[in-house]
Structure formats: structure tokens, C-alpha cells
Amino acid sequence: MDKIRWGIMATGRIAATFADAVNYVEDAELYACASRDEDRAKAFAEKFGVKKYYGDYGMLADDENVDVIYIASPMAQHYEQAKMCLLNGKNVLCEKTITLNGSQLAELIDIAEKQNVFFMEAMWMKFLPAFLKAKEWVKDGRIGIPKMIKCDFSNLCPFNAEDRLFKSSLGGGCLLDLGVYPITLACEFLGYEPEDIISNAYIGKSGVDFDASIILKYDDSFAHLTAGFDIECQNPAFVIGDKGRIRFGNWFFCTDEVMLYDDDGHLLEHFKKPHLKNGYEFEIMEVHECLKQGKKQSNINSLYHTTATMKIMDECRKQWGLRFDGE
Ligand SMILES: NC(=O)c1ccc[n+]([C@@H]2O[C@H](COP(=O)([O-])OP(=O)(O)OC[C@H]3O[C@@H](n4cnc5c(N)ncnc54)[C@H](OP(=O)(O)O)[C@@H]3O)[C@@H](O)[C@H]2O)c1
């Protein structure tokens, strides 16, 4: 494989950011895109220099020149679209949250295994240099034993009944849109199998969660996590150990900086590495590495990890009694 040819399925907000990153990565070619509407596909192709465009998702899945498809539709569409791509023998990078629930995900993983293709959730946070540096500090014992995570992701989003964020039929709500990041962060530092999960949420007028609070309890450690559309936070994240602590820069999931403190609060190290383009280039490079090595999943963001975080989100929604339309 020389250049890896990408296809982008759906042409909304994140698809545009991702297209910029694909165009940045040297051994990537932004080969094709697809929209439900041919004019939108054409406009996207012209804007980002995409070679081929389709007004139908199925035609992209059928294009034999495409090496890997990035799915950038609302949550509720991921399952059908990923299934179509995987059954067509395509490698797939699917936006977060990968499916609405664990049973959809299990079915997709089964198909990906049978088809022997690469499959990963686009949890880009895990590939950012600041995130990897924090993991290195913990592995090297710089904060001792991690005992507590505090992490918020609240993003003020004025109610808009037409936006996917607020629509149950599109898998809206703050848990799948934002909460997946704090949950992933907690799992990376405390483990993917908490002993207990305690969660509550404010269910808003469109029937999805507008604000949510989650506690993950481990043997002798805790994660306190929040997510929501009703307030704007600085969205920091702390990993607190018995010998020191780590603080991610604000908007922890996309930050390019992270700080290490001793247990008296003295700054020991400040790591900062600006993104090369917009931060999404790092997950693209990981996909390329996996494809070049013939790997069907990433070690950094494995399907076990994605399954475990999905299980936590399923349990939260079970505790709130929230099901999506058509689920
Ligand atoms: N990694 C990140 O930082 C990040 C950031 C934001 C969002 N996301 C994830 O990316 C996905 C898309 O989010 P977004 O903010 O880009 O959403 P968006 O702006 O609403 O775009 C979604 C696109 O999906 C397509 N689509 C297919 N069926 C649809 C339907 N029934 N209703 C509406 N759109 C439909 C549309 O593209 P066409 O009209 O071209 O078919 C639409 O433009 C979500 O899974 C979200 O969680 C990730």
C-alpha cells in the first residue's frame, strides 16, 4: 500500500474537520466522499479536493478503490452504515459513540472479525501526545497509584429540536455525545471494568439526557464524571494518585498540554506539544500503522476498550430508564 485511500461517509461538521486532517497526513489520499444528497457531496468534494463523490452512501461502500471508510453520521446511523461497509469488506473508522448500545456493537465486531477487516471507534483523544504523556507518567509511577479521576465535559448547547444532539431518533443526549470522553479517560487510568456504576441524569424536554453525572467505583479508587449541554465548564481532567497528580489542559479531550504535580502541588513537568494540524491527524496515523501492519484493531484503542465503555453507558441509561426511539 502506498497512499491509503480514504472515503468519508456523511458530510457534516466533524467530517469537514476530519477531511482537513486527512489532507494533512502525507500517506493519506482523500479519495471519495458520500452524502445523502449529491449536491452536498459535490460541494464537500470541491472544498476538500476529494477525487470522487457520491449522492448515496452505498456507492461509497461499493467503491473498490477505497481502503478505509470514516463514518461521520449521527450515532443512530452508525450501526447500519458500519454494517454495510464491513459486509462489503471495508476497513472502518467510526465516529464516537460507535453504536447506540452494546448489542449493536457486538454484532458489528462479529462481522468485522468474519470479514477480517479493521474496525475502530474514532476516540481521537487517546492518540494525542498529551494523553500519551500522561499515560507514560502513570506507567512510570510518577503519581504513585491512581486513586481518583475528576473529569467534566460540559458544553453549552442551546436547545434546538432539529439538532442531532437533542433528537432521540438520532441517538442524541450528552452521554453518548460528551460523556464517552470522561468515561474513556477514567477507564484508561483506573481500568475498564469498574466494580460499580452509579449514575443519574436530567432528561430534557426532547426525551434525551441534557446533563449526566457518573461515579465509577473500583476496588479502592473512584472516578467522578459529568457531562452536559446546559452549562459550559472549562472541562479540566485530573488523575490523582497517592504520590502526585496530573492535570490535563482545559477541554481535556483535545488538549495539547498536560501538567505533572507532586503531592504538595508543586509543578514537576509541563508537557506541551501543539497539534500538527487539528489533532485528528494522530488517529489517522494510527489507522495507517494498523493497516500497514495488517492489524484488524488498534492496541491503543481496542475493541475490548470500546465494548467496555459501551457497557458502562448501557448501564447508565438502564439506571435512568432511557431508551432511544426505535431502540
Ligand atoms: N471526534 C470528535 O471530535 C467529534 C466531534 C463532533 C462530532 N463527533 C461525532 O461525529 C458524528 C457526527 O457529528 P456532527 O457533529 O458532524 O453531526 P452533523 O453536523 O449533524 O453531521 C452529521 C451528518 O450525518 C449525515 N446524516 C445521515 N443521516 C442523518 C440524519 N438522519 N439526520 C442528520 N444527519 C444525517 C448528514 O450528512 P449528509 O447530509 O452528507 O448525508 C449530516 O451532515 C457523531 O457521531 C458525533 O458524535 C465527533
**Residue 188 scores a pLDDT above 70:** yes
Average pLDDT on 60-82 reads 98
List the residue whose alpha carbon is closest to atom 18 of ligand 1: 12
List the residue whose alpha carbon is closest to atom 7 of ligand 1: 14
- Quick one: pLDDT at residue 326? 87
Q: How far is it, in rounded angstroms, from Cα 80 to Cα 86?
A: 10
* 279 C-alpha to ligand 1 centroid (Å): 18
* 184 C-alpha to ligand 1 centroid (Å): 21
| Residues near 4 by beta carbon (within 8 Å), at least 6 away in sequence | 27, 28, 29, 67, 68, 287, 288, 291
- Burial class from Cβ neighbours inside 10 Å (0-12, 13-18, 19+) for residue 299 reads exposed
Q: How far is it, in rounded angstroms, from Cα 186 to Cα 218?
A: 11
* pLDDT, tens only, 246-264: 999 999 999 999 999 999 9
Mutate to test the pocket of ligand 1, among 8, 9, 11, 14 (most ligand atoms within 8 A of CB): 14
Please indicate whether residue 74, judged by its CB atom, sits closer than 6 Å to ligand 1.
yes
Count of beta carbons in the 10 Å neighbourhood of residue 58:
14
Please indicate whether residue 17, judged by its CB atom, sits closer than 6 Å to ligand 1.
no
Which grid coordinates belong to 91? Answer: 476497513
- Quick one: pLDDT at residue 209? 98
Mean pLDDT of the chain: 97
What's the predicted TM-score (pTM) here?
Answer: 0.98
* 137 C-alpha to ligand 1 centroid (Å): 35
Q: Are 245 and 202 in contact (CB under 8 A)?
A: no
- Quick one: pLDDT at residue 5? 98
Count of beta carbons in the 10 Å neighbourhood of residue 170:
19
Q: How far is it, in rounded angstroms, from Cα 151 to Cα 285?
A: 27
* 74 C-alpha to ligand 1 centroid (Å): 4
Q: How far is it, in rounded angstroms, from Cα 175 to Cα 96?
A: 11
SS3 163: coil
**Residue 327 scores a pLDDT above 70:** yes
Average pLDDT on 178-199 reads 98
| Cis ω before 255 (30° cut-off from 0) | no
Q: Which domains does the chain have, with CATH numbers?
A: 4-122 (3.40.50.720), 125-279+308-320 (3.30.360.10)
Please indicate whether residue 13, judged by its CB atom, sits closer than 6 Å to ligand 1.
yes
* 5 C-alpha to ligand 1 centroid (Å): 21
Band (pLDDT 50/70/90 cuts) for residue 2 is confident
- Quick one: pLDDT at residue 241? 98
Q: What's the N-to-C CA distance of the chain in angstroms?
A: 40
Give rounded-to-5 percent helix, strand, coil for the chain. 40, 25, 35
* pLDDT, tens only, 146-176: 999 999 999 999 999 999 999 999 999 999 9
Sheet holding 237-241, edge to edge: 196-203, 209-217, 222-228, 146-154, 237-241, 244-248, 257-262, 267-272
List the residue whose alpha carbon is closest to atom 44 of ligand 1: 74
Band (pLDDT 50/70/90 cuts) for residue 1 is low
| Residues near 261 by beta carbon (within 8 Å), at least 6 away in sequence | 244, 245, 246, 247, 267, 268
Band (pLDDT 50/70/90 cuts) for residue 320 is very high
User: Which residue in this structure is represented by grid cell 453504536?
Assistant: 99
Cα distances from 295 to residues 29, 115, 151, in angstroms, run: 20, 13, 32
Which grid coordinates belong to 99? Answer: 453504536
- Quick one: pLDDT at residue 292? 97
* 153 C-alpha to ligand 1 centroid (Å): 19
> Sign of the C-alpha dihedral, residues 254, 60, 83, 166?
positive
